[in-house]
Amino acid sequence: MRVIGMVMVGSCHFKKDLVGGRNRTRVLCFAISSYGDIWSGSEGGGIKVWPWEAIEKSLSLSVEERHMAALLIERSCIDLRNNCTVNGVCPLPPSSIRHLVSDNGRSKIWSASSLSFALWDARKRELLKVFGVDGQVDTRLIEASQNQDPHVEDEVKVKPVSTKKEKSQVGFLQRSRNALMGAADAVRRVASKGTFGEDSQRTEALAIAKDGIIWSGCNNGSLIQWDSNGTRLNEIQYHAYAVKSICTFGTRLWVGYVSGTIHLMDLEGKLLGGWVAHSSPVIKMAVGGSYIFTLCNHGGIRGWNLTSPGPIDNILHSELSNKELLYTKQENIKILCGTWNVGQIRASRDSLISWLGKAATEVGLVVVGLQEVEMGAGFLAMAAAKETVGLEGSANGQWWLDAIGKTLDEGSSFERVGSRQLAGLLICAWARKSIRPHIGDVDAAAVACGFGRAIGNKGSVGLRMRVHGRKICYANCHFAAHLEAVSRRNADFDHIYRTMSFSRPSHGLTPSGGASSTAPLNRGGNATANVDDGRPDLSESDMVVFLGDFNYRLHSLSYDEARDMVSQRCFDWLREKDQLRAEMEAGRVFQGMREGVITFPPTYKFARHVPGLGGYDCGEKKRIPAWCDRVLYRDSRSISMAECSLECPVVSCITQYEACMDATDSDHKPVRCIFNVEIARADESIKRKQFGEIVLSNEKIKSLLEDYCVVPETIVNTNDIYLQNSEKSILQISNKCEKNKATVEVICQGQYTIKEEGSASILCAKGSFGFPLWLQVQPAVGVVNPGKSIEVSVHHEENSTQEAFVDGIISSRRCEDIMEKEAVLLVNVMGNYSTKRITHRVNVHCCYSDRLSSGEKGISKRVQSNHLGADFAADLESNTDLVQDSCTNP
């Protein structure tokens, strides 16, 4: 049996795979109700409850009887799905229950599957409501799930086709274009209807705030607010990536995303700040002491001060900057980037060795971009359809991956780290084994620039990776062809640069990040604002390399003039005629990017298998030779003389930029460029040490931390509440602080039962909020504004027979009703920046004066006045794990 999680009650651990056996499904989530019951959600929509009375009985068994504990708990299990089924119909959907949240303040339980919610009464264990992510109540989810999606039927219907062949007046190119556009458009229509795509509002996280508002996070990055009755209040979105976790504490809310980013909001949903916490999805968050701890899916855990972002962060950043030289390390790596328009051929081994094999012996990373790996109208249409459903690749593409890998001695010297194909475009990367441990977060992207920006005959494929902690992007491009299409080529670049978006965000350590400080985004906004400010992914990288067949030509000269200048190797004169150089100088394309000095002949266009410069196109069209195949880059430098540092982390220079003129397989010549890259990084072990020294020695930080840990002063209107029959009493909690909000929660430390003979039972404690079934306290949690008060209703629930488990046997109602009961409530008060708390004790006495004799009343009074003395103190000592007057760590 595999354990995938557990919850602890008392001294027992309840595992998610509680018991094996037939017809048992895997448990996915747990919650403990305000009455101490354990609720579980499982695959297939199963939801079960293990009552506290059975758990309490199993914990009280003697050593000789403990073998019966598992059987006792198993038999006590209540299957709520079966209880909700009437005449074979269940209102609950058959989807797996992935989230359970206990609304202890209002005695409710929320269960959530991917696309629906159910609201339960925690005391009565009854279903209250079933509704969808859109907030609409829906009791027909089962029937809807069994119906076939009508969108599929719409797309697969075949229209009758006439058998008569009509002579078309449309040319071949136009028919090909129409076919490509039609195929791409059909696939897009189906995908937009959701046939292939997943629902954009699948619930990924669920949490409850101190003010009673429920927050759900979706896979499209949106956050939805719900009130305690399941009414949809608002939807906000600040990030484009999926929500993976939500944590609430005090008056703040933290949201963890699949990108590794964390956002901080207030309880109204206003964004207060955000930072990059991890290089992978943040799957869990928890508060302890004065920190919020975050867990990512690769196992990394980090702690962040609850005050962040705030004044402490500013002090830490300033102090750490002064010590930057102590923890800055520099790394050096050589990167080989190669580009080749292969014209749908498979190159010879000699050509590959000449192009890559020899040059790769001195580099640590090889990135290769190919164009026209495979073309043709049918292939392009199929590639567009595959792209829409997340598929890629072709036989020719796989051949090139294998051939280049063999040339680089893949497996012995190099390892492939990533690849991406879009129709005829292919980009792939290999890292030397000694460098591979320092390369991570590899991700890919593609942008089509062909017909209607939908077909991949033109466009770009990209790879993004983190090298020694710095983001480097490579984009392999193929722009529009023909001499006169300069503006189209510029537009292709602009479209690629603005829209290339990597499917999985790549984030890691921030240059100024510390063990518990943040890099604030400082971008506030209302509910409709989005933190993602529209900056392209490429603009946020430390280094970007563009390579490919850019198709810029030589202008204002004839074919013969170009041939003469090439034969004389007058490349300086030819560069004056280069369209790309002219457009870059005018600021219309590749803004802020650099290129090495061109010392090789134009790489286009050649007759195949003709060696030397005599191979330039001499056919009917006599295309003018041109430097179509290029490599351009930018690094972190804002000025050319900047040195490598944490502020300018990547500085690169070109050591080799040349064409492989002896490769004759294609009408283009392959080009290679070798970069020498210096990378500055922070040694995290040294930085953490410096961080700790600053926190311990800086008096201003210590003073601020002490101020943040102060708990607001509060008063409670009474320490004793007396209830008779079904009376209701009001407990008023007032915040005397004029500056800070206070968060309060009311829990039950335990209860006494005064037996008929006048003796008192021992203090009986429960898990969670621990309320006995005869006592209702609402709301049990809340936020008290400065100078304000909240009222808590304390109510006795008469004839509550569900709680009557005495030694595992349900006792009679009358016997229970005539017993006096007393409960000890603890009002815990906390601030917003620490788990330190102050506790007020309130004793609740429940008696039935109209049903008791005078003698019994006397017994009641004596017990009431005495048993909260020495016995109460003894019980309190034995239950110190349940309460702590003032604690700084949980």
Question: How does pLDDT run across 309-349, given as a tens digit for each residue?
Answer: 888 889 999 999 899 999 999 999 999 999 999 999 999 99
> Residue 289 above 70 pLDDT?
yes
Side chain identity, residue 273: G
Average pLDDT over residues 733-759: 82
195 vs 564, residue with greater confidence = 564
For 679, residues 6+ apart whose C-beta sits below 8 A from its C-beta are 330, 331, 332, 333, 467, 468, 469, 470, 644, 649, 650
> Residue 15 above 60 pLDDT?
no
Task: Look at residue 283 in the predicted model and tell me its pLDDT.
Answer: 94
Closest C-alpha among 824, 825, 817 to residue 797: 817
Closest C-alpha among 844, 841, 843, 842 to residue 885: 841
> Residue 50 above 80 pLDDT?
yes
Three-class SS state of 682? strand
Query: Angle 311-322/699-708 helices, nearest 10 degrees?
Result: 160
- Model pLDDT for residues 855-876, shown as the tens digit of each residue: 444 433 433 333 333 333 334 3
Average pLDDT over residues 418-447: 93
- Model pLDDT for residues 19-40, shown as the tens digit of each residue: 433 446 789 998 998 888 899 9
The pLDDT mean for the chain works out to 80
Task: Look at residue 614 in the predicted model and tell me its pLDDT.
Answer: 83
DSSP string, 342-361: -TT----HHHHIIIIITGGG
The top-scoring range by mean pLDDT among 222-226, 536-540, 639-643, 855-859 is 222-226
Three-class SS state of 303? strand
Name all contacts of 63-66 with Cβ < 8 Å and 24+ positions apart. Answer: none
Closest C-alpha among 36, 33, 40, 37 to residue 15: 40
DSSP string, 401-432: HHHHHHHTTBTTTEEEEEEEEETTEEEEEEEE
Average pLDDT over residues 212-238: 93
Task: Look at residue 797 in the predicted model and tell me its pLDDT.
Answer: 75
Closest C-alpha among 328, 326, 351 to residue 340: 351
Q: Would you call the peptide bond into 712 cis, given omega within 30 degrees of 0 as the criterion?
A: no
Task: Look at residue 758 in the predicted model and tell me its pLDDT.
Answer: 57
Closest C-alpha among 371, 313, 365, 294 to residue 335: 365
Query: Confidence class of residue 724 from pLDDT cuts 50, 70 and 90?
Result: confident
Three-class SS state of 877? helix
Task: Look at residue 388 in the predicted model and tell me its pLDDT.
Answer: 64
Average pLDDT over residues 541-554: 96
Residue 725, both tokens: 């029959």
Task: Look at residue 271 in the predicted model and tell me its pLDDT.
Answer: 95
> Residue 805 above 60 pLDDT?
no
> Residue 483 above 70 pLDDT?
yes
% of the chain exceeding 70 in pLDDT: 77
Cα-flanking dihedrals φ and ψ of residue 177, to 5°?
-65, -45
* E-only strand ranges, 72-159: 78-79, 99-103, 108-112, 116-121, 126-132
What is the spatial distance between Cα 169 and Cα 424, in angstroms, rounded to a whole number? Answer: 30
Lowest-confidence pick of 354-363, 499-508, 787-796: 499-508
Helix, strand, coil shares, percent, the chain, to 5: 25, 35, 40
- Model pLDDT for residues 73-125, shown as the tens digit of each residue: 888 899 999 888 888 788 888 889 999 999 988 889 999 999 999 999 988 89
555 vs 16, residue with greater confidence = 555
Length of the chain: 890
- Model pLDDT for residues 602-652, shown as the tens digit of each residue: 999 999 999 888 888 877 778 999 999 999 999 999 887 889 999 999 999
Let me know: does 316 contact 308? Beta carbons within 8 Å.
Answer: no
> Residue 811 above 60 pLDDT?
no
What is the spatial distance between Cα 31 and Cα 9, in angstroms, rounded to a whole number? Answer: 11
For 870, residues 6+ apart whose C-beta sits below 8 A from its C-beta are none
Task: Look at residue 641 in the predicted model and tell me its pLDDT.
Answer: 82
Closest C-alpha among 760, 758, 756 to residue 875: 760
- Model pLDDT for residues 526-535, shown as the tens digit of each residue: 233 334 445 7
Cα-flanking dihedrals φ and ψ of residue 35, to 5°?
-100, 10
> Residue 5 above 50 pLDDT?
no
> Residue 153 above 90 pLDDT?
no
